[in-house]
Amino acid sequence: MPSNTQQLFLPFHRLAHLLSRAAKASWYPLHGIWYFLRHPEFYPIFVGRLLPLSIISFLVYLILFTFTFIPQFLLLLIFQGRAGALINTTVLVLGEGLVLIQALFEGLFVDECRVDIFDATLINHGFVDLVAPRRVLFLDAPNSVKMLGKPTSRAEYSPFSWTQIFELIVCLPLNLIPYVGTPAFIMITGSRVGKLSHYRWYKLRGVDKKTMKRDLHFKSWDYLWFGTVAMILQLIPVLSFFFLLTTSAAAAMWAAKMEELSRVRVGRPVTANDRAEQETDDPVYHDDPV
């Protein structure tokens, strides 16, 4: 039985644990930027596909800011102060642009690039065996990107979802609420972004929908903060496609960490030390026995 002192400090330990998990999850999208920049083999993917799309996204935002910013700003100015109206209108227009860009381009043109970045990052972390069953690999290639051949099964970084786009549209009016509306919009939509970030990992592992849903619920707190930071990056005009790729690398880095923890524990019981580590590290995943 825990002592009275331990019981007294238990809520503080839990709070510290939650804050630690939030900090780790939030850091991954930022670390992914540095990781991407340090791997020149990723650059051709960005230049070949996403540079033209970045130009298109620039035109979308240019049109929106030219014709919709001022009317929406004047409307918000009636209910909010100048500073609040300026911030919320900016996020509102960026969100509208994100809806248009995702509906028009992301599902058709970007997902394949994100899969390549995700798989190449896993290969860089030594998980060739995880990727190999799902696509042809040229093992004698000079780097992880050139190793990637055609997928042998359906390859999606995240499934194209009209529900996600509908959610973005429905949540956009939250930006009309002073002070709390914009953070709420980013966090609500970011939560779904976070949960979809490991869709490819679950498919590579052959995880069924029931297990995937359980794991996503278990790590919903972590995905909230990962997705919130990723969402903020995606709202940056022109660079949003670049950050889609860096976030894909970040998601793969996180998946590699969990995959490593999972494999260390396969074949032996979870000990007291494992449970203690689980309180400070990422949750442990176990493959269902075949």
Average pLDDT over residues 14-29: 92
- At 5, the pLDDT band (50, 70, 90 cuts) reads low
Cα distances from 34 to residues 10, 30, 177, 247, 253, in angstroms, run 36, 7, 35, 11, 12
Residue 40 pLDDT: 94
Q: Which two tokens stand for residue 33?
A: 């930027």
pTM for the full predicted model:
0.78
pLDDT of residue 287: 45
Given this model, what pLDDT does residue 159 score? 75
pLDDT > 90: percent of the chain: 35
The per-residue pLDDT for 271 is 44
Q: What percent of the chain has pLDDT over 70?
A: 82
* Cα 198 from Cα 216, distance rounded (Å): 9
Minimum mean pLDDT among 15-19, 133-137, 168-172, 269-273: which range?
A: 269-273
pLDDT band at 286; cut points 50, 70, 90: very low
Residue range 97-115, pLDDT digits in tens = 877 776 666 555 678 889 9
Report the range of poorest mean pLDDT among 9-23, 165-179, 207-221, 273-287. Answer: 273-287
Q: State the Rg of the chain over Cα.
A: 21
Summary mean pLDDT of the chain: 81
> For residue 132, which of 142, 121, 123, 145 has the smallest C-alpha distance?
123
More confidently predicted of 263 and 229: 229
Most confident of 84-88, 123-127, 189-193, 204-208: 123-127
> DSSP letters of 190-249?
HHHHHHHTTHHHHHHHT--HHHHHHHHHHTHHHHHHHHHHHHHHHTSTTTHHHHHHHHHH
210-214: average pLDDT: 90
Q: Report the C-alpha gap between 72 and 64 in whole angstroms.
A: 11
Residues 6 or more apart whose Cβ sits within 8 Å of residue 168: 95, 98, 99, 102, 189
Helix (H, G, I), strand (E, B) or coil at 114: helix
Q: For the segment 33-86, what is each residue's pLDDT rounded down to a tens digit? A: 999 999 999 999 888 776 677 777 788 888 888 888 888 888 878 777 788 788
Most confident of 129-133, 178-182, 275-279: 129-133
More confident residue, 155 or 42: 42
The residue behind tokens 């779904």 is: 192
Please give the average per-residue pLDDT across 134-159, as a whole number.
89
Mean pLDDT within 22-29: 95
**Per-residue pLDDT at 256 exceeds 60:** yes
- Select from 195, 50, 32, 189 the least CA-distant residue to 118: 32
